[in-house]
Amino acid sequence: MGEEPAHDRVADVQSEHRADQRRPGQLRSDEGQAGPVREERRQRHAAFPSTRPPLYSAAHARTGGLLILSRKHLARLAEDLLSRPLFAQAFAGALKRGLETKGTIDRNVQTVLSLLNLPSRADLNRLLTKLEIIQGNLTNLSLKVDRLEAAQRRAAKRPRKPRSGSA
């Protein structure tokens, strides 16, 4: 199969001038005249019938060129977006695919680490658990040895009574 030239795969390429090469006010053949901008009361689109003021209005504080949303506004934005069934469905699908991808990546990393004979985080956690168990056992043994030594010292300090039945 031969290689195709790159320009054959690009759709709808016109050989007109770029925007910075055109004279101001010159339109391309596919551009229509701009309609007048209405400054009076704007109608909301039927898909977004909200009576609340927009989140991105001049009333919101701007710092360093970034819009800052309060927790309340962010919660309202999330509520508005997730109340739309199409967005909620798309978001759930994206989240599901993201979690599936993360699982696949985790399994692949585990495989690569095992092939390189390197411990994974799960291996390190298992070792840490075993070390904690061994440390607990060692502490218990140390306490028991200390009790036995203390009992021997007490026994050594007491005078021994001779046995009455010995020859």
Q: Which residue has the higher pLDDT, 34 or 128?
A: 128
Which amino acid would we find at residue 34?
A
Q: If you average pLDDT over every residue of the chain, what do you get?
A: 75
Mean pLDDT of 92-117: 94
Three-class SS of residue 74? helix
Q: Which residue has the higher pLDDT, 118 or 29?
A: 118
Task: Report the b/e string of 86-117 with b at 16+ CB within 10 A.
Answer: eeeeeeeeeeeeeeeeeeeeeeeeeeeeeeee
Mean pLDDT of 106-118: 91
Q: At 67, which helix (H) or strand (E)? A: strand 66-67
Place of tokens 């218990």: 140
Phi-psi region of 39 (alpha: psi -120 to 50; beta: other; left: phi over 0): alpha
User: Following DSSP, what letter does each residue of 101-149 receive, concatenated?
Assistant: HHHHHHHHHHHHHHHTT---HHHHHHHHHHHHHHHHHHHHHHHHHHHHH
Mean pLDDT of 145-163: 86
Mean pLDDT of 132-149: 96
- Taking only the tens place, the pLDDT of each residue in 31-90 is 566 555 555 555 555 555 555 555 555 554 455 456 677 888 888 988 999 899 999 999
| Amino acid 60: pLDDT | 46
Contact between 83 and 47 under an 8 Å Cβ cutoff? The reply is: no
Closest alpha carbon to 57 in 44, 68, 47, 49: 68
- Report yes or no on whether pTM surpasses 0.85: no
Place of tokens 């306490």: 143
